[in-house]
Amino acid sequence: MQTASLLYYFLLVCWCIDFVENQTNEIPRRQRRRMRYRGSRKGSSANHRPNRQPQIKTSTTVAVVPSVPLINIDDGITEVFDSLIGLSGHESSYSVLPGKKGHCTANGMIMYDKAVWSPKPCITCLCSKGKVICDETTCLSLTCHKTEIPEGECCPVCSDIEPNDPSDSMLLQPLRTQDEMDELLRREKEELEGREKEIHKKDDEKRKRKEKKSQEEKKIHDYEAHQKAEEEISRREEEKRRAYEEEELQIEKEEEEKRKGNELPEQERKQQKSEEEEEEEDEHILRGDVFRMPPRFPIPVPPAEIPPLPTGCSISDTTVSCIHARLTQIPPITDPELTSLELEGNTITSIPDEAFNGIPNLERLDLSKNNITSPGIGPQAFKILKKLKRLYMDGNALVHIPPELPSALEELKINENHLHAIDEDSLQELKNLVTLELEGNKLSEANVSPLAFRPLKSLSYLRLGRNKFRTVPQGLPTSIEELYLENNQIEEISEICFNHTSNINIIVLKHNKLEENRIAPLAWINQENLESIDLSYNKLYHVPSYLPKSLLHLVLIGNQIERIPGYVFGHMKPGLEYLYLSFNKLNNDGIDPVSFYGAYLSLRELFLDHNELKFVPFGITEMKALSFLRLNNNKIRTVPPERICRSVVNDDNVDADSNDDDEEVEDSRLEHLHLENNFINTRELSPYAFSCIRSYSSVVLKPQKIK
């Protein structure tokens, strides 16, 4: 029984030792060595930095020697090491020759005062006032069984676990009870976990220090770059100033020497020249000395602070927004990366020449709704903005277009001002301008030069509404595509108005004083790209003849039109698609069966609402492409089945031909029909009146008027 107990305890001890070794081996060997021998490593050699000179070692002497500044050649950063003299403080026995002015000479090299180098591994030398002092690293004695000297190190380190370690010796003691063994294992586990946590904590702290150091180095680098740029600028200015002063002094000196006639003798001039050459040589030697102590270390200076934005302004990416910020002048902003500035809704009255000097790369500038006047704009105010593409100055008090606008401008808006003249030079150099808006001013054919728009080689969008024009302006550029002249006083359109505008696509002439007999027959009939004309709210009594061949969209709302002449759309190709005749005086006598000739196959939308029609006009059933029909607000009383849908299927006559009728019904594309506000009795309508319309919900019949 006793033998079995001893065998049990022996096996249990072996198992515990094996378990602890397995747990311990989970920690990397390098970390365990650092963890167990941290105390002994403190006395060994310092961290070795291979491939960097000079190498720095720390001695293990008891005496404390004052710290000596050391120049790191690679980084230019001052470091401090604790000792350069050994225990005995003896001087080096190496063959050296003292140099002049505190210099040392070692192995044929000149070492300046306080220079440090390593002639041999584990030996560090210092040049101190012409003398060389060297120090040999002393290693501590180790108690471990097995040692090794790591590569690049001078002193040995332990490479195995010390058997005398108290923590390990505890495992060799005999275990008498199961509780003692469990307590021992728990303590060992807690100790290992604590060490692992300490290692992770130190690694995290080290990583954070590295990140913080990298951020600080980046900031310092940015500050240094900014400082260098400023120093370079100031240096150049200083050199120019000095050169100018030296030139003036030289001139004064020459004049004085000529006046006094006492030039320096030849020998003195030679001596002075030799002294200057010697000074230049000394300076060259000093500049080539890599061990030389710099007179001072540059301290990074942060860049000059940019003035804060005024109250009510905000910045986002490359845009500064000061909308309704109660500004009375353009804020002093210095930011070369700024591309957009919004100053809408303030009380700015002037733009001085230097207003945009700090933001030369501006691409978009909004000065709308201010109180800017023409005299308040400096002649060079916009000249610095070489990249400006969009300028908005709506709602100000300008009487002239601002001068010296940048040639890169693509969009210019000066609506709602007091412009009363455009000279031939007002838009000079704006060859890249695409959009020009001058609505709500006092412009007319009398104060706009016929040559005013000639420089605008790229203009495609021109708005001149709400002005005082009585005729279409002359000299429109050939590149024009859209022309807006609404709310003027135009009375006629001559034959030469659009002679040179072959690319024009849209003309808006609503709210003028045009009559059909004041539109010249050849005004626009030969235009090949003109697709849309808006002649709403004029004085037309008939649909005008001689419309452009390419017209697709004709708007005649709000006139006094009583008749649609026959064949008025017959010459159009591919054919009119949109015809709006709302709010006129059309009656059934003014619409002939041939009024829509030429548009039966192309017309998609037809608006005949708010007229005086008493029944649905003839020809609606012939419009194969019609999808939207407005007949509301007329005097229509009934809708015969054949006026909207061409084919009708009767209850009494259902035969084989009904299949053909159904196909004809399905051919209709009518989707929307408005018949409200007439005098139709909906109960008397034929059930087949709207059979060609796909959805009855698309037919609007209510409300109806009651006589």
pLDDT score of 90: 40
**Cis peptide leading into residue 574 (ω within 30°):** yes
Sign of CA dihedral 91, 92, 98, 103: negative
Q: 120, 138, 156 — which closes off a domain?
A: 138
Cβ atoms of 129 and 101 closer than 8 Å? no
CA dist 671 and 592 (Å) reads 25
Provide the β-strand partners of residue 71: 78
- 310 cis-preceded (ω within 30 degrees of 0): no
Rounded to the nearest angstrom, the gap between the alpha carbon of residue 35 and the centroid of all alpha carbons in its chain is: 52
pLDDT at site 152: 64
Amino acid at 144: C
- Which sign, positive or negative, has the C-alpha torsion 558, 559, 564, 567? negative
* Domain contains 63: yes
User: Tens digit of pLDDT for each residue in 538-548?
Assistant: 999 999 999 99
Contact 391, 413 (CB under 8 A): yes
Indicate the pairing of strand 109-111 with strand 390-392.
Answer: unpaired
By CB neighbour count within 10 A (0-12 exposed, 13-18 middle, 19+ buried), where does 218 fall?
exposed
Strands 578-580 and 553-555: parallel
Look at residue 214 and give its three-state secondary structure.
helix
608 falls within a domain: no
d(CA 704, CA 707): 10
Strand partners, 672: 628
The reply to whether 269 falls in a domain is no
Q: With respect to residue 513, please indicate whether it lies within any of the assigned structural domains.
A: no
- Please tell me the distance from the alpha carbon of residue 588 to that of residue 569, in angstroms, as a whole number: 19
Contact (Cβ atoms closer than 8 angstroms) between residue 463 and residue 441 = no
Q: How confident is the prediction for the chain on average, in pLDDT? A: 77
Number of C-alpha atoms within 13 angstroms, CB side, residue 226?
A: 13
Task: State residue 88 phi and psi, 5-degree precision.
Answer: -85, -15
Asked whether 599 and 579 are in contact (CB, 8 A), the reply is: yes
pLDDT at 549: 92
- Burial tier of 627 (Cβ tally within 10 Å: 0-12, 13-18, 19+): middle
Beta bridge partners of 340: 319, 364
∠ CA 660-627-697, nearest 5°, is 85
Predicted pLDDT at 288: 39
The residues facing 607 across adjacent strands are: 580, 630
Judge whether 606 and 589 are in contact, CB under 8 Å: no
What's the CA gap between 179 and 400, in Å, rounded?
Answer: 102
Distance CA 331, CA 345 (A): 14
Which residues of the chain fall below pLDDT 50? 24, 26-99, 161-175, 263-264, 282-298, 301-305, 648-666
Write the DSSP symbol of residue 90. Answer: P
* Burial class for 99, CB neighbours closer than 10 Å (0-12, 13-18, 19+): middle
8 Å CB contact between 298 and 224: yes
Q: Which residues contact 480 (CB under 8 A, 6 or more apart)?
A: 459, 460, 462, 501, 503, 504
Distance from the first to the final alpha carbon of the chain? 128
For residue 392, being part of any structural domain is answered with yes
Q: What is the CATH number of the domain that holds 336?
A: 3.80.10.10
pLDDT score of 34? 44
pLDDT digits (tens, 9 = 90+) for 313-346: 898 888 999 999 999 999 998 989 999 999 999 9
Q: d(Cα 546, Cα 524) in Å, to the nearest integer?
A: 8
* Domain encompassing residue 663: 613-707
Specify if 101 maps to a domain.
yes
pLDDT at 188: 74
Among residues 658, 593, 653, which one has the least CA distance to residue 623?
A: 593
Last residue of a domain, one of 138, 171, 195: 138
pLDDT tens digits, one per residue of 446-478: 999 999 999 999 999 999 999 999 999 999 999
- Please give the sequence-ordered ranges of beta strands (E in DSSP) within 445-505, or none if there are none: 461-463, 482-484
Of the candidates 626, 612, 567, 614, the one whose C-alpha atom is nearest the C-alpha of residue 592 is 567
What is the number of residues in the chain? 707
Could you write out the DSSP letters of every residue in 12-77?
A: HHHHHHHHHHHHHHTS-HHHHHHHHSHHHHHTSPPPP-TT-SS-------SS----EEEE-TTT--
pLDDT tens-place string over residues 232-284: 777 777 777 778 777 778 787 777 777 666 544 555 555 665 665 655 554 44
Residue 177 resides in a domain: no
| CA dihedral angle for residue 628, residue 632, residue 637, residue 638, rounded to 10 degrees | 10
Per-residue model confidence (pLDDT) at position 185: 76
Q: Number of structural domains, the chain?
A: 3
pTM over 0.85: no
Out of 399, 418, 437, pick the residue that ends a domain: 418
Contact 509, 489 (CB under 8 A): no
Q: Are 70 and 116 in contact (CB under 8 A)?
A: yes
Structure tokens at 623: 């419009």
Residue 227 within any structural domain of the chain = no
Supply the DSSP string of 166-209, one letter for each residue: HHHHHHHSPP--HHHHHHHHHHHHHHHHHHHHHHHHHHHHHHHH
